[in-house]
Amino acid sequence: MFLECRDLGYRYPQSPEFVFQDISLQLDTPGFHALFGPSGVGKTSFAKLLTGDINGYTGEILKKENAIFLYTYNQERLPGWSSIGRHLDKITPPGMADLCQELVEIFGMEPFMNQKFSQLSLGQQNRINLIRYLLQDFDLLVMDESLANVDERSKENIIFKIKERFPDKYFLYISHNLMEVSKFSNAILVLLKAGKQPQTSLIKGLNIHRNDVINSHELDTVLLGIMNAC
Amino acid sequence: MKKNTTQLLFILFISCAVFSVSLFTVSPCQGEETLNYRLKWLFNASVTGDILAEDQNLFAGEGLDVKVKAGGPERDAIRELEMGYATFGVASADQVIRARAKGAPVVVIAQLFQVNPLQWISKTNKPAINTVEDLRGRTVGITYGGNDETIMKTLLARAGIKENELTLASVRYDYTPFYMDKIEVWPVYKNAQGIIIGEKLRKEGEDIRFFNPGDHGVQFVANSVVTSEKMLKNNPDTVARFKKALLKGWHMAMDPANQDMALAVLEKYNKDTPRALQEKQLAATRDLVWPDRTKDIGRIDVKAWQQTEQMMLEQGLIKSTVKIEAALIIPSKDNSN
Amino acid sequence: MLVRRISQFFIVYGAGIGFLLALKSILGLSDYVIPGFMEIWNTGLAVANDYLYDVLNTLGVAMIGQILSIIMAFSIGTAARKSSWLGSFIKAAAYNIQAYPIVAVAPIIFILLGDGFASRLIIAAMICYFPLLLSVVSIMSEPITDIEHFYLATGRMRWQLEIKIRAFENIRKLTTVISGSATLAMAGTIVAEFIAANAGIGHAIRIALYQSDLSRILAALFLIGIFLSLYQGTLEWLGEKIIKKWVILDPEEIP
């Protein structure tokens, strides 16, 4: 068992209403998974509970011993006093320099290594932030809108690369893009508003890899499944 | 748009100017209007006659509504006369001379202190200062910019003592350096701080003695009553009545027979000083204001004024003579020398 | 920026003198109350050398006092950021002490330490210390979550890095408060000298006041204004340089 949630519930401090309640799930298969749902339903809170960024929940969260869970989100910033290249050099663990170089090239960030974070576009900022997390030691990485503002082609390239390069890792991708989560994700956890029963649904995604051909009928099935769940 | 802004600025400027003029234009004497009498310093024994005159309704007895206002380090009676905030004031001779040198239309109607209260104290357990020569090698306190600086430098110059033959130290309203013997000779007002410091030291088994520049030929006139030339010219009767009431107040205050009354008034206006000290201060003030009981209180010592002017000229405090005697208003029957 | 600051000062000073002279003319005041232009000019020339030395003396004390207060404020402010109890205590204490006029405490300092350099320095430092401390405490105790999150999540956060991040993100605020404290330091030193010191331009102003010499006071104000403008302008220029170098792209890093 890698991750199991039992009757997980959470409410904001000093709020009488639960954001979500009685969520139970198991995650045992590494890969690219998604967390989907309307805005304000608690996706980020749920993810942060898993990574330990917030506490104060009801229920249980059981993780594999010593598993490292990291959470990254699209508004993170790098310190502005040095170039992003210099920053990456400082935070790249020993032995990961090649991976760093590889990711920089694949993510299309090579031409910008001498620039400072504030000089990048939003998409570029998200990309460089994701790179530095991918270089760290982790077992599960929550990517909360981490590819927002990135064009579709680059996004596809990046996700394929992540799948290829990190086959043994778990990724939990939070996105509002229905097509994206349907195509790329293995398991899609659909989170609904409080009060709905059940509040979660688990849909199987297409989990396509590079050079896979998308079956439009299968895609429609996934899309429909998600829409029905919502 | 630019034209509108310019017009607006112009209107604003004119409004400010009119407002300023209305603010500062105050007629010194209009009917039953209150006449402000600005003292030189806070209420203490040095102003007993002034506050007694108010307290005993002596001004009212002359048909005048006079408000006696305390002075202070930031107050300048001569400036207030010119600005119209006061009708009468108290200023020292150096202030009057300096003002006259700069064209201020101020005149002197009475000289309150016949002996300058500004003297220097030293401890009796230190070598005595009987002559100016005894100041050589001593550390002497002066208030830079004050009239004690002028007096001391005149004393030294006339005795042929160079400033590097002693140490002149800057002093302020903190007597700790004197108590700790860091500054041996300290300027005080004999009838005010002089009494307080003396009492304090006596409690510790020490005592003080006074060094009076007047005893060594330096006559520097102290507090005098002033008014504006305009006031004197346009309202001579008011000036005369004011002076009469004021000097009556001083007579009453300085008369030993009225000691209890004078002390009661002093206590009323100055609640901070204990009565026992005020009694001694009053006695000391009497010796300074009315040293010669055969002569009138308030008489103007023209020679002393002229000497004061000369000292200021020698010290470079005024560029040229102001003929101060022209500003001294002496009634023809007055016997002042 | 420096030139603009000084020209602004000239305009304000000139307007002030103009207003005084207009008032003199309108009300027919003597030179004793408001001196004429030639007297102001001649007096200014006569005291220029002495007052220049005095102003530089005061400015020197103010600068050293400000530097001391910056060091103290940063040390205590950064130390206080971690402990919510200590941080709250320091904030409350700083607010309360700041409300108390330091210049009222000045006579006590002069009694204890005499009227020399040390007293003036302490007063200058105290005057600008508390606003600086409050700014530093406020800046250093406010996390920059968007930047710090990575380091916290990956176990890389160190206190030096945390301070660097928070200082960097608030560099404009810090440079502004430091420039502003220059005026405080100078004003505080002058007032302290006025009360009880034996040197500096405040002492000179006190003497001029005893002698009711407005010309000297105006000359002193002129020199104070010029040098304060220079000092503040220099601090602002330095602040901009630091921001340009540190925050904006370093030209050497452009490929």
pLDDT digits (tens, 9 = 90+) for C146-190: 999 999 999 999 999 999 999 999 998 988 888 888 888 998 899
Phi, psi of C121, deg, nearest 5? -65, -45
Strands (E), chain A: 3-10, 20-27, 31-36, 57-63, 69-73, 140-144, 170-174, 187-191, 200-204
Task: Look at residue C128 and tell me whether its pLDDT is greater than 60.
Answer: yes
Range of the domain at C51: 2-247
Measured CA to CA, the distance from residue B302 to residue B323 in angstroms comes to 11
Task: Look at residue C60 and tell me whether its pLDDT is greater than 80.
Answer: yes
The answer, as to whether pTM is greater than 0.90, is: no
B-chain residue closest to C22, CA distance: B17
C155 touches chain A (CB under 8 A): no
Per-residue confidence (pLDDT) for residue C89, from 0 to 100: 81
C120 touches chain B (CB under 8 A): no
Residue C195 vs residues B141, B150, C209: alpha-carbon distances, Å = 16, 21, 12
Tell me the chain C residues in contact with residue B22 when contact means C-beta distances shorter than 8 Å.
none
CB contact under 8 A, A115 and C249: yes
Task: Look at residue B24 and tell me whether its pLDDT is greater than 60.
Answer: no
Neighboring chains of A (3 or more beta-carbon pairs < 8 A): C
In three state form, how does the secondary structure of C156-183 look?
CCCHHHHHHHHHHHCHHHHHHHHHHHHH
- For residues A75 and A227, is the Cβ–Cβ distance under 8 A? no
DSSP-based three-state secondary structure for A87:
helix
A133 touches chain C (CB under 8 A): yes
Measuring CA to CA, which residue among B87, B92, B82, B84 is closest to residue B68?
Answer: B87
> Which of B25, B83, B176 minimises the CB distance to C33?
B83
CB contact under 8 A, A114 and C165: no
Per-residue confidence (pLDDT) for residue B19, from 0 to 100: 55
pLDDT tier at C110, thresholds 50, 70, 90: confident
Tell me the chain C residues in contact with residue B79 when contact means C-beta distances shorter than 8 Å.
32-33, 212
Q: Which ranges constitute the DSSP H helices of chain B?
A: 2-24, 48-55, 58-61, 77-83, 93-101, 147-159, 176-179, 193-203, 229-234, 236-254, 259-269, 275-289, 302-314
Sheet holding B224-228, edge to edge: B66-69, B35-38, B88-91, B224-228, B106-111
CB contact under 8 A, C30 and B104: yes
Tell me the chain A residues in contact with residue C146 when contact means C-beta distances shorter than 8 Å.
75-77
Question: Measured between CA atoms, how close is B41 to chain C, in angstroms?
Answer: 13
State the best of C144, C154, C254 to mutate against chain A, taking most chain A CBs within 10 Å. Answer: C154
Measured CA to CA, the distance from residue B255 to residue B251 in angstroms comes to 6
pLDDT tier at B199, thresholds 50, 70, 90: very high
Q: Which residues contact B201 (CB under 8 A, 6 or more apart)?
A: B123, B179, B207, B208
Per-residue confidence (pLDDT) for residue C111, from 0 to 100: 78
pLDDT digits (tens, 9 = 90+) for B259-308: 999 999 999 999 989 999 999 999 999 999 999 999 999 999 999 999 99
Tell me the chain B residues in contact with residue C193 when contact means C-beta distances shorter than 8 Å.
none
DSSP-based three-state secondary structure for B138:
coil
B170 touches chain C (CB under 8 A): yes
Domain membership of residue C149 (yes or no) is yes
Per-residue confidence (pLDDT) for residue B27, from 0 to 100: 45
Domain membership of residue C252 (yes or no) is no
Q: Do the chains C and A touch each other, judged by at least 3 C-beta pairs below 8 angstroms?
A: yes
> Which of C23, C30, C207 minimises the CB distance to B103?
C30
Tell me the chain C residues in contact with residue B177 when contact means C-beta distances shorter than 8 Å.
114
Q: Which of residues 169-208 of C touch A (CB under 8 A)?
A: 169
Handedness of CA A90, A93, A98, A103 (dihedral sign): negative
A132 touches chain C (CB under 8 A): yes
Look up the CATH number of the domain holding residue C168. Answer: 1.10.3720.10
Tell me the chain B residues in contact with residue C30 when contact means C-beta distances shorter than 8 Å.
82, 99, 102-105
Q: For chain A, what are the domain ranges?
A: 3-74+138-219
B145 touches chain C (CB under 8 A): yes
Tell me the average pLDDT of chain B.
90
pLDDT digits (tens, 9 = 90+) for B108-157: 999 999 999 999 999 999 999 999 999 999 999 999 888 899 999 999 99
Predicted ipTM of the assembly: 0.91
Question: Measured between CA atoms, how close is C253 to chain A, in angstroms?
Answer: 6
Measuring CA to CA, which residue among B64, A118, A210, B281 is closest to residue C146?
Answer: A118
pLDDT digits (tens, 9 = 90+) for C180-223: 888 889 988 998 888 877 889 999 999 898 888 999 999 999 99
User: For chain C, how many structural domains are there in total?
Assistant: 1
Token pair recorded at residue B211: 């060094």
Per-residue confidence (pLDDT) for residue A98, from 0 to 100: 94
C-chain residue closest to B170, CA distance: C198
Tell me the average pLDDT of chain A.
90
Q: Which residues contact C40 (CB under 8 A, 6 or more apart)?
A: C17, C215, C218, C219
B-chain residue closest to C213, CA distance: B98
CB contact under 8 A, C32 and B104: yes
Tell me the chain A residues in contact with residue C165 when contact means C-beta distances shorter than 8 Å.
79
Token pair recorded at residue B140: 């002497």
- For residues C9 and C232, is the Cβ–Cβ distance under 8 A? no
pLDDT digits (tens, 9 = 90+) for A159-209: 999 999 999 999 999 988 888 899 999 999 998 887 777 778 888 998 988
CB contact under 8 A, C33 and B104: yes
**Domain spanning A3-74+138-219 has what CATH number?**
3.40.50.300
Tell me the chain C residues in contact with residue B78 when contact means C-beta distances shorter than 8 Å.
32, 212
Per-residue confidence (pLDDT) for residue B336, from 0 to 100: 43
pLDDT digits (tens, 9 = 90+) for A114-163: 999 999 999 999 999 999 999 999 999 999 999 988 888 889 999 999 99
Per-residue confidence (pLDDT) for residue B333, from 0 to 100: 57
B316 touches chain C (CB under 8 A): no
